[in-house]
Chains A and B, each alone.
Chain A
Amino acid sequence: MVGKHKVIIESKSIVYELEIKRNITIIKGDSGRGKSLLVDLIVRYNREKRNAERGKKNGRSVSITCDKECFGYRQFDNDSRSWSDILREHTDCIIFLDETCWFLNTTEFASFVKHSDNYYVLITRENLKGLPYSVSEIYEMYSYKSYDGIIEKHKTGIKNLYSDCSVFSGYSVKPDLIITEDEGSGHDFFESVCIWKKNGVKCISARGKDKIVSRIVPVDGQKTVIIADGAAYGSQMEDTMESMRACGGYTLYLPESFEYLIIRSGIVAEVIENYEDIVYHTYDYADSGKYFSWERYFTDLLTKKTIDTEWKYGKNRLNSIYKLVRNMRAILESITGIDFDR
């Protein structure tokens, strides 16, 4: 599935409005905000729809407006079939699952999502370390009262959980230390920038996103920038933010991925002509049936488009063309919030 899809779920007393644009969306947050009710209403909608199709005149208490089929599943349903058999019946669909689904944190479910063309909305607080979900697609619910004539209705939407943190604020920091997620091309690039700028900034690798949190330790007066792939860093976000808050001196920079930065800079425009549309409307290109995350989409795009060119890109080792000063400068221009000069 590609595209972004508006979903409106409405009952007599409550309306949910959501916009879903990636294969994995996470909704978490405080208790008592109506998360489980959302899935309940979708389950009810589908039950009422089935009953109507069978000729039962039980009425319809829930409506759903969406250009895609929506399916909700809670483990309370005493279905004798396995969760995978139930979910496999749905393709090109937006599937809503909540914390009653015990399997959300299993490798089997991660594999299922990877090979599925559906979009998944997962209402859970569990650490889903097997799923590469984006920090931009972690939401919490908010609601407000409105009136439909004399009938009071609660309208409920979702808002980004991490939209107001330093990650996106854009203020500029001069780091003393840079920690990159991986050891490959991204790390190679930022290390090369520090050598070019002669800024004395040390650039180290955490050797995997799972190991970044333990690198966040109290250090007096040192400014550290952590650079990771935002498109797949969702599972680490809560622990990272809390550790950063406790220690101070840390800033998180989360572009979609390093490949995204290269494409967005325009330096490979000769091989990816519509790059601007791709980076601003990625949801129209990154097919959930092919790509587990946008990070993998950008890597695949850059690798395939540059394969027989001077821009040949490899994730493990950075082609020296990307380390030419003019190219490093172009990539840095698209980075806000980090000042590499001394």
Chain B
Amino acid sequence: MLSVFFGDREDVIDNPEDYFNGMHALGNYSFMSDPLIKAIISDVDQSEVLDNCLIKSPVLGLIPPMMLSGGVKTLIDIYLEPDEVFNASYCGNNCAKWILKIAENQDITIRLGHTMNFGEQPFKIRIENNGLIVTKMYDFVQQSHRIMFEV
């Protein structure tokens, strides 16, 4: 299940892009062969994984995983380390469906500093700040706004 925390707290990994770069600085990218990670890279960055260390980007040409977008790096962080709380405001709305997909098989908590759009399909998200469970975007927006702007 997906839990969302709005705002800031101590245990959040605030810069998941830097975290990704640091964790994989020695070049062990064996996880790149994971079908879900390949699908994320294809969908979000429109890039193709040719090899664990080599990706074909339509804009940048042949690139190493270190040059993936901040959104993709954050999704990979969340997927590989579900016990950590990552700042998912590095992710655009095109990452939202992947966050829900990752949360289908494992419990994850993400931090948001904005209202991510999870789309029109029903979902189940627990708001950590107040314990409420929301199932549609309108309720998610109202809770997010109340916590971030009115409290």
Interface residues of A (CB under 8 A from B): 13-14, 28-34, 36-37, 75-76, 99-100, 102, 105, 124-127, 129, 143, 154, 210-211, 213-214, 236, 238-239, 242-243, 246-247
Stretch at the interface among B25-33, B67-75, B101-109, B121-129: B67-75
Q: Are B18 and A13 in contact (CB under 8 A)?
A: no
Interface SS of B by simple majority: helix
When chains A and B are docked, how far (Å) is the Cα of A143 from the Cα of B59? Answer: 10
B residues sitting closer than 8 Å to A (CB atoms) are: 14-15, 17-18, 21, 44-47, 59-61, 69-72, 89-95, 113-115, 117, 136-138, 141-142, 144-146, 148-150
Is the Cβ of A13 less than 8 Å from the Cβ of B60? yes
Pairwise interchain contact B60-A126, C-beta atoms closer than 8 A = no
Apart from A13-B60, A31-B90: 7 A-B pairs, beta carbons within 8 A: A14-B59, A32-B46, A32-B94, A99-B90, A211-B150, A238-B114, A242-B115
The CA of A105 and the CA of B90, in the complex, are separated in Å by 14
Q: How many A-B residue pairs have CB under 8 A?
A: 101
Q: Is the CB of B92 within 8 A of A125?
A: yes
Shortest 4 CB-CB contacts between residues of A and residues of B: A31-B71, A246-B138, A30-B92, A32-B45
A31 touches B94 (CB 8 A): yes
Among A29, A30, A129, the residue within 8 A (CB) of B148 is A129
CA distance A205 to B108 in the complex (A): 40
User: What chain A residues lie within 8 Å of B44 (beta carbons)?
Assistant: 30-32
Residue from A14, A30, A129, A154 within 8 A of B149 (CB atoms): A129
User: Which listed residue (A28, A210, A213, A238) contacts B142, Cβ 8 A?
Assistant: A213
In the complex, the answer to whether B69 meets A125 with C-beta atoms within 8 Å is no
B46 to A, closest residue via Cβ: A32
Q: Which residues of B contact A32 (CB under 8 A)?
A: 44-47, 69, 71-72, 92, 94
A30 and B18 contacting across the interface, CB-CB below 8 Å: no
* Nearest A-chain residue to B91, judged by Cβ: A31
Distance of A75 Cα from B70 Cα, bound (Å):
13
Task: Please determine whether B59 and A99 come into contact, CB atoms closer than 8 angstroms.
Answer: no
Set B69, B91, B145: member contacting A213, Cβ < 8 A: B145
The answer to whether A31 touches B149 (Cβ under 8 A) is no
Question: Does A127 lie within 8 Å of B114, measured CB to CB?
Answer: yes
A102→B150 contact, CB < 8 A: no
Chain B residues lying within 8 Å of A246, measured Cβ to Cβ, are 136-138, 141
* A127 vs B89: C-alpha distance when bound (angstroms): 10
Cβ-neighbour of B70 out of A13, A36, A127, A213 (below 8 A) = A36
User: A102-B14, A105-B113, A213-B141 given as contacts; is B150 within 8 A of A31 (CB)?
Assistant: no
